[in-house]
Amino acid sequence: MEAEYAAAGVGGLVIHTDRKDPHALALKKSPHEHIVCAAVVPGVTPSQVEMEIKKGHYQCMKVYLGYVPKYPSDPFYHPFYRVAERLKVPVVFHTGDTSDKMALVKYADPLSVDEIAVKYPKVTFVLAHIGNPWIQSAGEVIYKNDNVFGDLSALMIGEMEKADDESIQEFVIKPIHWIFLYVENPKKLLFGTDWPLVHVKPYLEAVKRAIPREHWKSVFHDNAVRVFGFKQPLLSK
């Protein structure tokens, strides 16, 4: 991972894992600044997450729509949203396709986040994977709600360097360019990869082709700094 990020000129990352995971512990020695999201799943309590955030162990929350068979409006999640509002931390929703065949994708439709965005206007929400394949629904939710952002990660996974250009165009470049134009606000989209499901540099180069050069600084740096609170530069190139 370190080698991939260094080659791509990346300086910061958002990770979704338990802070006690060996990989998370290894990142403490990393030159890359890392933001860690607490998993909001059954068995975890709002008080636990709040305590860990106050200790500085987590800086955001991750809700696994689809993997957990609950809509974002489920009563289970509301206490977590209130914690996010009090502590001013962002909430990331997994949206769209899942890697687990037993997951229920009806719960991962990004359109269902609209209700929560309206109910909690002071909370910043991020739609991971911009709802792929429901890109248009994600685009509308991001466009309509000032507090909703889109994460451009994992629209294509695997060894992209071996993929044909037609596939990269159809599955990465065209959807991202469409949502960029529809949202009409370059401050609402954030670059991401979902490493290790995709290699960093080829995905970075594909996303660059979808975003006008004059907005690279926003999409590849400024927006993540504003949403997640990074302190160090994220891109060295």
pLDDT category of residue 34 using cuts at 50, 70 and 90: confident
Q: 36-228 falls under which CATH superfamily?
A: Metal-dependent hydrolases (3.20.20.140)
| Residue type at position 168 | I
pLDDT category of residue 22 using cuts at 50, 70 and 90: low
How many Cα atoms within 13 Å fall on the side-chain side of residue 105? 10
pLDDT score of 236 more than 80:
no
Peptide bond into 196 cis (omega under 30): yes
Q: Which position has the higher pLDDT, 9 or 147?
A: 147
pLDDT category of residue 234 using cuts at 50, 70 and 90: low
pLDDT score of 2 more than 60:
yes
**Residue among 178, 225, 172 nearest 203 (CA):** 172
Q: What is the pLDDT of residues 184-204, one digit of tens each?
A: 999 999 999 998 899 999 999
pLDDT category of residue 82 using cuts at 50, 70 and 90: very high
* Per-residue pLDDT at 180: 98
The C-alpha atoms of residue 75 and residue 203 are separated, in whole angstroms, by 37
pLDDT score of 134 more than 70:
yes
- Alpha-carbon dihedral angle through residues 111, 195, 149, 34, given to the nearest 10 degrees: 140
Strand spans (E) along 91-132: 91-94, 125-128
Distances (CA, A) of 123 to 17, 126, 182: 21, 10, 23
The C-alpha atoms of residue 13 and residue 225 are separated, in whole angstroms, by 11
Q: Considering the chain, what is the average pLDDT of its residues?
A: 92
The rounded Cα 227 to chain-centroid distance in angstroms is: 10
Q: What is the pLDDT of residues 85-124, one digit of tens each?
A: 999 999 999 999 999 999 999 999 999 999 999 999 999 9
> What length is written for the chain?
237
* Per-residue pLDDT at 23: 62
* Per-residue pLDDT at 18: 64
The edge-to-edge listing of strands for the beta sheet with 12-16 is 12-16, 33-40, 60-63, 91-94, 125-128, 148-151, 189-190
